[in-house]
Every structure is written in C-alpha cells, then in structure tokens.
Amino acid sequence: MSDTPFREVLRGFPDELTKEISFSMVEGNELRMVVRKERFGDMVAHLHAQGGRLISLHATDERSVIGAFKLHALLDMSEQGIITVACPIEPDDPRFTSLVPKINAANWYEREIQDMFGLVSVGHPDPRPLILYDDWPQGVYPLRKDFNPAIPVPRIPQEYRYRMVEGEGVFEIPVGPVHAGVIEPGHFRFSVAGEPILRLEIRLGYTHRGVEKLSEAIPYEKGVFLAERISGDTSVAHSTAYCQTLERLSGTEVPERAEYLRTIFLEMERLYNHVGDIAGIALDTAFSVPAAQGYILKERMLELNERLTGSRLLRSVNILGGVSLDITSDDIVMLLSAMVRLKLEFEDLCRRMLSSNSMLDRVETTGMLSKEVAEGLGCVGPAARASGIGRDVRKDHPYAAYKNLSFLVPRQTRGDVKARMMVRMDEVRESFSIIEQALDGMPGGPSAVEMKEVPPNLSGFSLVEAPRGETMHWILAGDGKPFRHKIRDPSFCNWLAMEFAVLGDIVPDFPLINKSFSLSYAGNDL
C-alpha cells in the first residue's frame, strides 16, 4: 500500500485491522478492498471521515459463486480516486450494522437493500419499506437470484405507517400519489401549523419497474435500449454510463471521434432539460410570458435533436463501442447556425426573468438547502452546486472528450430556488460553449469499433454528469449479460433533500421548490 495514492486515507486506521484487508488496484485510480462484515462499517465510516463521499451502497447475491451475499460501498476520495469497500454476508446471518448514524447519505441505500435482498440493517433509524408496495409479502426479495419474476407474488394487505407530527393546531395535508397535472406518481404528506410546513414526508416507488432485475436477463447489446428508458429525458446520460462501464470491463478503446460525438449529444441533452426546468420555474411563479418563451425554446432544441439524430430525445445514438451515427460538415454548419439563434433567444429569456421583481420575490429565500445538509445527504448536480458544492463528474472524473475541453462549473451558495435557477442558466451557457468547442476540435476517424468480449466475474462502473447530476452504472459481469446491474440515478440522492428545503415555507410554494429540484420519479423508481 505504500506505493499507492490511497495510503494517506488509511492513516489513522489501526494497523492490525489494515492487515486483515485484501487490496487490489484497478487502472491506477481505483482501490478495492474486501473486509470482514464486522469491519465494514468502521472502514466506510473512516473513509467518509477522511472526506470520502458515498457514491453508492448496494448488494449482490453471490451465493452461487462464493456462498454469500456481498455489500459494496463506493466512495469518491476526490483527487485520490475512488475506493470500493466490499464485505461478504453469510446467508444464515443476513445482518449488518447500519451506516446511517455516521453517514446520513446511506439512509435510502440501506432501506433499498433490505427491500430487495432481505439483508437487515441493524440500527437503521427508519427501517420501513422504501420500494415494495404495502401489500408485498415479507420474505420475498426481488433481487435475489432465486426470485422468479414470472411467478405472480401473492399480496397480503398491510398498512404503511407514516410519521406523525403531533400537537395542537397541527394538520396533515396528503398530496398524491395521483396528481392533477402531467406528472408521475409520488406521495407527499405535509404537516403544517397554520401556513408554515413543519414536516414533509415523501414516498415514492409507484413506478418501480424492476429495471435492475430485467437487465440480468438481457444481453449486453440490448441493455443499451433498456438504459435509455430508465428516465426518458436522460437517455444519453444513462446509455453513456452503461456503455462506458462495459467498454471498460472489456478493454475496448472507443474512437476519439465517438468520444467527441458523445460529448455533443450529452450537452444537447443538458440544454433542453435545463431550459425546460427554467421555463417550469417561470410557470410556477405565474410568469406566463417567459414560461411560454422557455417552452418554445425547449421545443426548438428538441426539433434540433431530431434533425441531427432522428430522435427528439436523442435515443439510439449510443452503441457499445461508440455511437451509431456520424455527423457531416453540413450537419456541423447547421448546428452552429442554430446555436447562434438559440443563444440569443436564451439570453432574452434570462433577462426577462431576472428583471422581474415580482418573480425574484417568489424565488429568493424560497426552498433553501444549506451546504451542510446537502453534503450530509450526498446531494449531486445543480441542487448541490446551488448550495455551494462544486462537484461535477465532467471535471472531477473526466470521460468522453471533456478532458480536452475548457469549461467552468457554475456554483451558487444561497441554496434557494433562485440559486438553482441561476446554476442552470450558467450551465446552459457552458453547454453552448462545450458543443462549439467539440465541433471545432472534432477529430477524424471512425465513430465506433466492435466491442471486445466482456470477461465474466469482473465488476466495474462509470460515472456520468447527467442534467440532474451524477449518474452511476455498476455491473458485475455474467455470461453475455449482467450478473448484477446497479443503477443510481441522481434523483435517488436528491429526493430527501427536498424534505429539508421546504421546511418553514408554505404549501403553495411546494410546486415551485419541487420544480427547482427537477427530480425524476422514474429515475428513482428503478
């Protein structure tokens, strides 16, 4: 270990415990270690105390291989790289000590593991089901290998117990899961005393589709189509993370031209998402003219996507080994010309919104999320950057062509609706610049190569900065298809933050705060 870049993060951890750990390095910037179950929590907590940010905590059912389940914790140690800590869990004692008392960000991960694998998080402050429906029977765990999704599961009526705020004058307002607008299902239960919100409890899972289980039965090349449909407005980000994971496992080197094209498509996806979110904030403040202007601008961006790729949502542009289409010199001229017009229209939209005192009154100091809370919950993307956390995968762990391009990571500090809106406005400007740089520096050569075979029993992951933030795909390779496919959409990291952001605000401001976070129900409900 003395020659690795990770030696500093283990300083302070007892030497006698370090001797129990087996280490392995992957590509020089990732350290993997396997510890005993009794040491798992201590090691992860130690790394977290050294500045490690929890990327994911998930389980695998490897009883057919090693006779045990496994827990995997991925931590980002910033410039030092990424550390994976794993531990086996024996089937006859499926318990592990909860990390939540020391790492708040582990909360939903552990509840998910309990639901899907039946591994019990001892000491978790809120062990209620997270994903499984109220009538799902105990003892049936969908991500265990012996679960057969083709066999109907008998339902047993049960009551889900919401947490109550008691006291004189306290009322509960249940909202959803069915909503009046074109919106996916989610239940929001407000506790109020007068107008201010005392507590919000969010319950999701109504659109859970079993994507990770389904992926285990799909060949790698077909999995790209599944990845694109995890969350419809982030097709490129999810498919890029999926493809990069398998390309890394197989040792396939994607052509440089494909990396530039992926970067362009990723930024085009960011553009229409951010512009749509900005328009949505205007709409929820009843500022109808800029809202209409923003939605028209988003529509023009979607039409541009279709002209360039044949798909408004940029579907089917990624394939294993590169991209499925190339762009011509005429396409580049068309795209650059369109960017000029879009930039002018976008700046006009920003001027209208930021010059309205009535709108600024609605968004300033509304839905405030402190840096401390955002850090503690492991928030990602614009929601984190608006609270002063300057993380961005494109800078921190560059992929595709980002390492060759110059751009800033916009950041605000107030953590309110306005800050989240401003971060998106600045990111739109950076996306325009990134696309122009990528088009100007586009290398020649092929846009795809044939992907090599993925050896079984290897594991790897990829991080991609989607419009909502850091997206992760982690795969343990099987025979021509994933043995285990863990997907972590950025929304999974940010939903809990909204329970804090609404405190002290009024219920009519909730739609505005919700839109400023712009979280995906489907992305969360895998």
Q: What is the rounded CA–CA span in Å between residue 485 and residue 483?
A: 7
Q: What is the pLDDT, as a whole number, of residue 28?
A: 65
Residue spans of the chain under pLDDT 50 = 1-3
Q: What is the pLDDT, as a whole number, of residue 4?
A: 54
For the chain, domains (ranges, CATH) are 7-122 (3.30.460.80), 170-203 (no CATH), 211-521 (1.10.645.10)
Q: What is the pLDDT, as a whole number, of residue 160?
A: 84
Q: What is the rounded CA–CA span in Å between residue 307 and residue 305?
A: 6
Q: What share of the chain is helix, strand, coil (3-state, %, to 5)?
A: 45, 20, 40
Q: Which residues pair with 466 in a beta bridge?
A: 469
Distances (CA, A) of 508 to 86, 175, 303, 416, 512: 45, 12, 34, 16, 8
Given the structure tokens 């552990």, which residue do they identify?
A: 110
Q: What is the pLDDT, as a whole number, of residue 1?
A: 41
For the beta carbon of residue 11, count every other beta carbon within 10 angstroms: 8
Q: What is the rounded CA–CA span in Å between residue 175 and residue 359?
A: 25
Q: What is the pLDDT, as a whole number, of residue 70?
A: 97
User: Could you report the per-residue pLDDT of 394-441, keeping only the tens digit for each?
Assistant: 999 999 999 999 999 999 999 999 999 999 999 999 999 999 999 999
Buried b (16+ CB within 10 A) or exposed e, 469-504: bbbbbbbbbeeebbbbbbbbbbbbbbbbbbbbbbee
Q: What is the rounded CA–CA span in Å between residue 452 and residue 147?
A: 31
For the beta carbon of residue 23, count every other beta carbon within 10 angstroms: 14
Residues 447, 257: contact at Cβ < 8 Å?
yes
Q: What is the pLDDT, as a whole number, of residue 78?
A: 84
Residues 451, 250: contact at Cβ < 8 Å?
yes
User: Could you report the per-residue pLDDT of 88-123, keeping only the tens digit for each?
Assistant: 999 999 999 999 999 999 999 999 999 999 999 999
Q: Which residues pair with 122 in a beta bridge?
A: 97
Q: What is the rounded CA–CA span in Å between residue 400 and residue 405?
A: 10
